[in-house]
Amino acid sequence: MGTRFLFLGPPGAGKGTQAALLGQRLQVPTISTGRIFREAIADQTAMGKQIAQFVNAGLLVPDKLTNAIVEDRLKKKDAKKGFILDGYPRNQPQAKAFDAYLQKAHRPLDAVLYFKVDASAVIDRMGKRRICSQCGQTYNIVTQPPQVEGKCDRCSGPLVMRSDDQPDAIRRRLEVYEESTINLLQYYEKKGVMRVIAASLSVEEVTRQIDVICGDA
């Protein structure tokens, strides 16, 4: 079974859930650029301060900086056996830069898994999501509810629905995602490493698809 995978797909496709499950089974880290950014900002590292300047201005973190952060993370000891990247790369220039790094490091990808999902499934899932307004902890009122309704288990802060989890906002986010990543998906498809996951199915059914693909990788 391979140990180096990319998970791509729109918001609400279930990438994070499946990445965590597969990471546990393979004993490799799940790496999300969003999480790296948040931790670097919170720790006030040199890179974190650079990231904060863009985030606070409402701008995307430049590709060059994002690539450097990912490469730095993959050099850490826990990623030597393998890794699961969730949501990176986000565009074709990032993908090409990442390929160059992997080739230099002699660490080719085993597969790129694209989580294809219906808009209706995403709206249903994200409509059930709640966020702690104080610490940011995420819940699902059906599959991962808090111990006390409406309150965070970690800090007791009130749980709220994000404004971008409203149906109209979700549809727009999906449209933006598809428009911005079509070249990226075509890039990996031409390389012959992309596998499509029917992500509208249940967690268990999606997990089974991933196990088959990763077992063959």
CA distance 88 to 174: 17
* Residue in 125, 129, 130, 195 annotated catalytic: 129
Of 185, 157, 137, the closest CA to residue 6 belongs to 185
173 is catalytic: yes
* Residue in 4, 73, 90, 195 annotated catalytic: 90
Please identify which residue in the block is written with the tokens 């990471």.
Answer: 23
Overall average pLDDT of the 23-46 stretch? 89
Of 7, 196, 11, 8, the closest CA to residue 122 belongs to 11
DSSP code of residue 208: H
Please identify which residue in the block is written with the tokens 């496709």.
Answer: 13
Overall average pLDDT of the 10-34 stretch? 90
15 is catalytic: yes
* Residue in 4, 125, 130, 173 annotated catalytic: 173
125 is catalytic: no
195 is catalytic: no
The H-or-E segment that residue 39 falls in is helix 33-43
Overall average pLDDT of the 134-156 stretch? 90
Helix (H, G, I), strand (E, B) or coil at 155: coil
Range with top average pLDDT, 32-36, 165-169, 210-214: 210-214
The domains of the chain are located at 4-118+170-216
Structural tokens at position 113 = 């898994």
* Residue in 76, 81, 162, 191 annotated catalytic: 162
Report, at the CATH architecture level, how domain 4-118+170-216 is classified: 3-Layer(aba) Sandwich (3.40)
4 is catalytic: no
| Residue 104, pLDDT score | 94
Residue pLDDT, tens place only, 74-108: 999 999 999 999 989 999 999 999 999 999 999 99
Task: Classify residue 128 as exposed, middle or buried by CB count within 10 Å of its CB (0-12, 13-18, 19+).
Answer: middle
pLDDT-above-90 percentage for the chain: 57
Residue 163 has pLDDT above 90, yes or no: no
| Residue 1, pLDDT score | 63
Predicted model pTM = 0.81
Q: CA 81 → CA 23, 54, 71, 89, 107, distances in Å?
A: 11, 32, 15, 20, 10
* Residue in 4, 15, 73, 130 annotated catalytic: 15
How much is the mean pLDDT over the chain? 90
